[in-house]
Amino acid sequence: MTLDAQTIAHEVLLTPTGLAPSDLDGVMQQLLRPGIDTADIYLQATRFESWGLEDGIVKEGSHSIDHGVGIRAVSGEKTGFAYSDDMALPALLEAAGSARAIAHQGQEGRQEIKTETPRVELYLPIDPIDSLCEVDKIALLKRLDSESRALDPRVEQVFVSLSGSHEVILVMGQDGALHHDVRPLVRLNVSVIVEHEGRREQGSYGGGGRTDYRYFLDGDRASEYAREAVRQALVNLDAEEAPAGSMTVVLGSGWPGILLHEAIGHGLEGDFNRKGTSAFSGRVGEKVASPLCTVVDDGTLPGRRGSLTIDDEGTPTTSTTLIENGILKGYMQDKLNARLMGVSPTGNGRRESYQHLPMPRMTNTYMLAGPHDPEEIIRSVKKGLYARNFGGGQVDITSGKFVFSASEAYLIENGQLTRPIKGATLIGNGPDVLTRVSMVGNDLAFDTGVGTCGKDGQSVPVGVGQPTLKVDSLTVGGTRVQD
Amino acid sequence: MSTLPPSTPSELSLDDLKNLVGDCLEEARRQGATGSEVGLSIESGLSVSARLGEVETVEHHRSRGLGLTAYLGQRKGSASTSDLSPKAMKETVEAALRIARYAAEDPCAGLPDPELLAQDCENLDLYYPWPILPQEAMALAIRCEDAARGVHPDIRNSEGAALNTFEGIRVMGNSLGFLHGYASSRHSLSVSVIGERDDQMQRDDWWTVARDARDLQAAEAVGQEAAQRALRRLGARSLSTRQCPVIFAADIASSLLGHFIGAIRGGNLYRKSSFLLDYLGKPVFPDFVHIEEQPHLLKALGSVPYDAEGVRTTPHHLVRAGVLESYVLSTYSARKLGMRSTGNAGGVHNLIIEPGPDNLEGLMKTMGTGLLITELMGQGVNLLTGDYSRGAQGFWVEQGIIQHPVEEITIAGNLKDMFQGLVAIGNDVDLRGNTRTGSILLEQLTIAGN
């Protein structure tokens, strides 16, 4: 018999300490004293495990359990917050007392604008940790180790890691409605080091999503991770110094969509725009990209790592159009910033755990497919760079400057890919880089389920995507100065 | 010197926590573990932020965590929990042993060599609780931000000021009889403001941190420094691509030492994923460079009496006259390399590079024409190859004088060459962290711009 998510949430979070929904109502009444505009109670239990293979053996395994409650009271722009890993009623009442002390006399809070977004279940309420027995988990790791080594004699080291988590949440807002979610998440990764005539290089590939471990036994998927990791490492053995300076850059589809996450994503989070600290503040309605660019943040893609049925404030996720045909349309909002800006929340209120405050965060950020053939895009470049894979990136949302680091790239000379070059960091300016997108491919792809975003000390899983696209000029941080 | 508290905010004393760790070690033994290691930490704190003269958030922190590694011979498993009840402890031990049963025999796995474990817990003067009330914390944050905003009318916006105060107790024990713990505290005040001129916005920040709140820099000084930094970034523009010498300002020069430590860390060495593989006894830096670790400096931010496994920490040289004298090893990585633990499980503790005679202005004069970097972006550092490529912000310098601020550039090179090409270390040592260094002048990097 499979349980539904709501039953699971109640059994995991309320039953152990004998809490009833009416007890939560009682805590909420304690929170909603004069001067408090909004409040929420967030209960969470997370179970996590990881396994690591190295030197051909499973050396490492860990398991963790964390549970607690975070209680928040908001008065105007002020937030009081307390949390406890003790989920019994007295602890909740104590935390509520600490949180509501933020109340400020004479505050006239703005009212929240409700959303009509329906709730759509985007994943099954399963616990991935028990979806494979230990013997099968280890067999998977060992199989990928053998396959990776068999692909090429230059493979010297192989690291395979598997992790899974099961997160259960309940959140009650000041309207008394109790929202639940049960969120699985899995991830498998293969990293290799290759060696040839004294030179060593590495490659890494993996994926996952909001499902269980059997996802990795589907068809050829896990073997593809091994093949890709080895292929990238071998390409790097031949990589030469990267050029330095401004040039045309073609970005591959999928994970290179980190361009969007860094260049415009963070800059379009509601908190920065409410405060006016973002380079995109006050620019709704303006042209911030070429007309070929439409970019959305969509939390409703089924089963993706960056997706959520509801955000961590109980708001169902939605697809938010950020840029439409080059024009800035809107921001991503959590409840607090939406209320202060007089708009609806967009289901982007996320928090790392019950110990953290929610804030606007991305879900799956991607650019819609365009009209061009990817091969045509490369052929159109006389001299430039094709960056197919990336590591991570970073952005200064006030100045607008952002970076992302290529991990697999090639020179383009007269429309052909010629030599592989070493990973270099690319730097640009968010508000104008997309205005220089002159070709957008028809091959939209999403990342394989590997993204983690950090903001203000809080990490959350995210997704990115894009088609192959051409940026007329971007600064490439290589070591070889061009003539 | 402060004595240990009779009780902690969670009403558990050091002795109570030691008893809990002892109980957990006993439970592991009872369930069949041949060896085990348990860490327990309790932390509490207050975070207050203010923006534009008003309180923004008040967060009360309280967290607990128990982590355990259990061994079945040469097989190991780890588990952790935030629940300290006997039931949760028992389940955590079960979880760790369940994993250990499936893990493979690893000849290098196991607890540290007993003779390397710390025999006692030296008091390093790390605990200075600060009973500041939320209202007082708010006032301090607001004062800091007010000072920043009052520096110049071009400071038009603010991300706010934040005051954080934390205290905690960490206890560690293992089945070899090690059982020690100590309390520590950490307080900080920071502010981030935005300058605006000619349609350009630039933000910068400053912060102060200490074990003892009385050692924090004054709120007004922190605010003024943040504002000055934001203002001097205004008018920033890119540069044309070129090669030139580069100075890493003191507060970001620590990143260079961080890459060095990463390259000599046991984990990267035995995996052969370091560009400094087999460099022990060889020159890595020029002969005026001396780098050491001082884990027992009283009140210092990186000080610990023993490492993450309980191994005694000792002051020692990492680099003398430019030559690499020691790797950074834990018990496991040392065994993989056929060496001994250097007391560095969990990292280095108070890394110090000997400063040169000149201050930052002196370094700029020595450099003549080149780039002064004050901020770095992105992760483009490959410790396997030493390849280095990161986004940067700073100032273009000619004849030792700043000409204009610079942004939207990258700096690139290879760490091996960068270390060999280290020209000078300034005496403007930044004491606000685990690494103490002045500004560092490097001979040459490639700058990519427009």
Q: Quick check: A421 pLDDT over 60?
A: yes
Burial of A406 (0-12, 13-18, 19+ CB in 10 A): buried
**Closest C-alpha among A203, A219, A192, A152 to residue A53:** A192
Band of residue A105 on the pLDDT scale cut at 50, 70, 90: low
What pLDDT was estimated at residue A102? 85
Interatomic CA distance for residues A463 and A474, integer angstroms: 23
Q: Read off the pLDDT of residues B49-98 as tens digits, 9 standing for 90 and up.
A: 999 999 999 999 999 999 999 999 999 999 999 999 999 999 999 999 99
Q: Do B236 and A242 touch (CB under 8 A)?
A: no
Q: Which of B103, B157, B407 sits opposite A277 (nearest CB)?
A: B157
Strand order in the sheet with B323-324: B323-324, B316-320, B291-293, B351-353, B435-436
B94's enclosing H/E stretch is: helix B86-102
Q: Do B82 and A481 touch (CB under 8 A)?
A: no
Distance of CA A362 to the CA centre of its chain: 6
Interatomic CA distance for residues A257 and A389, integer angstroms: 10
Q: Do B408 and A427 touch (CB under 8 A)?
A: yes
- Phi-psi map region of B22: left, alpha, beta (phi>0 left; psi -120 to 50 alpha): alpha
Question: What 8-state DSSP symbol labels residue B382?
Answer: -
Residue of chain B whose alpha carbon sits nearest to that of A97: B60
Contacts of A282 in chain B (CB under 8 A): none
What pLDDT was estimated at residue B1? 33
What pLDDT was estimated at residue B133? 94
Q: Quick check: A106 pLDDT over 60?
A: no
Contacts of A85 in chain B (CB under 8 A): 62-64, 82-83
Q: What distance in Å separates residue A61's CA from the closest CA in chain B?
A: 5
Q: Quick check: B367 pLDDT over 70?
A: yes
Q: Do A399 and B410 touch (CB under 8 A)?
A: no
A21's enclosing H/E stretch is: helix A21-31
Q: Read off the pLDDT of residues A72-86 as tens digits, 9 standing for 90 and up.
A: 999 988 999 999 999
CA atoms within 13 A on the CB side of A103: 17
Residue with tokens 């890709």, as numbered in its chain: A228
Mean pLDDT of B261-288: 98
Q: Read off the pLDDT of residues A261-288 as tens digits, 9 standing for 90 and up.
A: 999 999 999 999 999 999 999 999 999 9
Contacts of A402 in chain B (CB under 8 A): 377, 391
What pLDDT was estimated at residue B213? 98
Mean pLDDT of B193-202: 96
Q: Quick check: B130 pLDDT over 70?
A: yes
Contacts of A54 in chain B (CB under 8 A): 271
**Closest C-alpha among B276, B78, B407 to residue A200:** B276
Q: Quick check: A424 pLDDT over 70?
A: yes
- CA distances (Å), origin A108, targets A30, A39, A111, A274, B413: 19, 15, 9, 18, 56
Task: Evaluate whether B175 touches B46 at the Cβ level (below 8 Å).
Answer: no
Task: Evaluate whether B336 touches B310 at the Cβ level (below 8 Å).
Answer: no
Q: What are phi and psi of B302, to 5 degrees?
A: -105, 5
Contacts of B207 in chain A (CB under 8 A): none
Band of residue A206 on the pLDDT scale cut at 50, 70, 90: very high
Q: Which of A54, A64, A424 sits opposite B79 (nearest CB)?
A: A64
Band of residue A104 on the pLDDT scale cut at 50, 70, 90: low
**Chain A residues 77-96 within an 8 A CB cutoff of chain B:** 77-85, 95
Residue of A65, A141, A452 to mutate, testing the B interface (most B Cβ within 10 Å of its Cβ): A65
Q: What are phi and psi of B348, to 5 degrees?
A: -95, 160
Q: What are phi and psi of A221, to 5 degrees?
A: -50, -55
- Phi-psi map region of A57: left, alpha, beta (phi>0 left; psi -120 to 50 alpha): beta
Mean pLDDT of B234-250: 97
State the count of interchain CB pairs (< 8 A) between A and B. Answer: 242
Band of residue A482 on the pLDDT scale cut at 50, 70, 90: confident
Band of residue A103 on the pLDDT scale cut at 50, 70, 90: confident
Q: Quick check: A363 pLDDT over 80?
A: yes
Q: Do A244 and B384 touch (CB under 8 A)?
A: no
Band of residue A110 on the pLDDT scale cut at 50, 70, 90: low
Q: Do B56 and A201 touch (CB under 8 A)?
A: no
Band of residue B135 on the pLDDT scale cut at 50, 70, 90: very high
- CA distances (Å), origin B169, targets A85, B10, B100, B210, B269: 17, 10, 28, 17, 33
Task: Evaluate whether B114 touches A117 at the Cβ level (below 8 Å).
Answer: no
Q: Quick check: A107 pLDDT over 90?
A: no
Contacts of A404 in chain B (CB under 8 A): 378
Q: What distance in Å separates residue B122's CA from the closest CA in chain A?
A: 31
- Does A279 reach chain B within 8 Å, measured CB to CB? yes
Q: What distance in Å separates residue B123's CA from the closest CA in chain A?
A: 30
**Closest C-alpha among A68, A105, A98 to residue A84:** A68
Residue with tokens 């000390």, as numbered in its chain: A457
Q: What are phi and psi of A239, to 5 degrees?
A: -70, 135
What pLDDT was estimated at residue A297? 98
Domains of chain B, earliest start first: 9-230 (3.30.2290.10), 236-450 (no CATH)
Q: Do A393 and B378 touch (CB under 8 A)?
A: yes
Interatomic CA distance for residues A405 and A399, integer angstroms: 19
Contacts of B159 in chain A (CB under 8 A): 275, 277
- CA distances (Å), origin A19, targets A43, A91, B63: 11, 12, 21
Residue of chain A whose alpha carbon sits nearest to that of B79: A63
Contacts of A99 in chain B (CB under 8 A): 60
Mean pLDDT of B136-164: 98
What tokens does A232 get? Answer: 């990238």
Q: Quick check: B285 pLDDT over 60?
A: yes
Interatomic CA distance for residues B262 and B50, integer angstroms: 37
Q: Do A403 and B377 touch (CB under 8 A)?
A: yes
- Does A161 reach chain B within 8 Å, measured CB to CB? no
- Does A479 reach chain B within 8 Å, measured CB to CB? yes
Q: What distance in Å separates residue B402's CA from the closest CA in chain A?
A: 21
Q: Quick check: B6 pLDDT over 70?
A: no
Q: Do B58 and A200 touch (CB under 8 A)?
A: no
Contacts of B100 in chain A (CB under 8 A): 61
Q: Which residues contact B215 (CB under 8 A, 6 or more apart)?
A: B299
Q: Which of A61, A99, A395 sits opposite B102 (nearest CB)?
A: A61
> A171: which strand partners?
A42, A179
What tokens does A251 get? Answer: 């970005």
Q: What distance in Å separates residue B1's CA from the closest CA in chain A?
A: 31
Q: Which residues contact B310 (CB under 8 A, 6 or more apart)?
A: B37, B112, B117, B118, B172, B174, B178, B180
Q: Quick check: A43 pLDDT over 60?
A: yes
CA atoms within 13 A on the CB side of B134: 21
